[in-house]
Amino acid sequence: MPPYRILFVDDEPSIRLMLPAILENKGFRVTTAATVPEALAIISAEPFDVLISDLNIGEPADGFTVVSAMRRTQPKCVNFILTGYPAFETALQAIRKHVDDYLVKPADLDKLVSNIEEKVKNPRPRLPVQLKPVSAVLVETVEEITREVLRAMKSSVDLKRVRLSDDQRIDHVPLMIRDIAQRVDRGSEMSEKTLQAAAEHGKTRYKQGYSIPMVVEETRCLDMVIYRVVQENLMAIDVSRLVSDLRVVNDSLQTSLKRSLRAYLEQAKKAA
């Protein structure tokens, strides 16, 4: 039987040199990639039996992009994710849904080799995946997005300068996410109700002591979390609509931000 063909993706040069060399000594044939674009190009050009990808290659969770491409292009390939964060059990449960197995850095090499051989010989049944639009993922993950946005806001040096309760920081987020999802789903313009809510948010932030850069920063936090959640759910998303859906998400955030800032400045002018 010919050696198993492995694609190994990791942005750390030392790991990219060491682990493939060890696997080749064990009889595997290994191709390496250092970036997501490089991995995607290789996946489209060569067949593989196994993918081993770091979870965070260049950006958080972009290893899922590689796994998604492999599953769609080469559905029989066995997929492993490498992660350096074994403590987050909920994250590991999510990873298990999308890959055949995960490996914690530094990987136990004997276990890795046995896992590869076992998974290739006895592949897990692949259940058909019902692909969803981005709007459905946003609605399903409203609570997760809101929770992660709050975490990002509380980690921001600038935003922490204004003392607010958790509810005051993120009370606008669930409504905004649902409105964005509705717009993505229907392809419509933002409703006047949504724009009015954005204006009220701008006025409120002025009264609470936010600066304009802080209003921009909280929108950036929401933007980053949405993109991360979409990326983590990429394998369940209808990619034929992905670019247009994300364009609507971005436009919605920018439109809401502009309306908030306009109301903020009007409130500041009244107070002057």
Per-residue pLDDT of the chain (272 residues; tens, 9 = 90+): 568 999 999 999 988 998 899 889 989 999 999 999 999 999 999 999 999 998 888 877 788 888 888 888 888 899 988 877 654 444 555 555 667 877 777 777 888 888 888 888 887 766 555 778 899 999 999 999 999 999 999 999 999 999 999 999 999 999 999 999 999 988 777 888 889 999 999 999 999 999 999 999 999 999 999 988 887 787 778 766 777 888 899 999 999 999 999 999 999 998 87
List, for residues 102-111, the tens digit of each pLDDT value.
Answer: 777 777 788 8
Tokens 């905004």 -> residue: 176
Please state which architecture CATH assigns to domain 5-121.
3-Layer(aba) Sandwich (3.40)
List, for residues 109-167, the tens digit of each pLDDT value.
Answer: 888 888 888 888 887 766 555 778 899 999 999 999 999 999 999 999 999 999 999 99
Q: Look at phi and psi of residue 209 and say left if phi exceeds 0, alpha if psi is from -120 to 50, else beta.
A: left
- DSSP, res 47: -
- Enumerate the domain spans of the chain: 5-121, 134-271
pLDDT of residue 87: 47
246 vs 234: CA distance, rounded Å: 12
Fold classification of 134-271 is Globin-like (1.10.490)
Which residues, 6 or more positions from 236, have their beta carbon under 8 angstroms from its beta carbon?
129, 130, 131, 132, 137
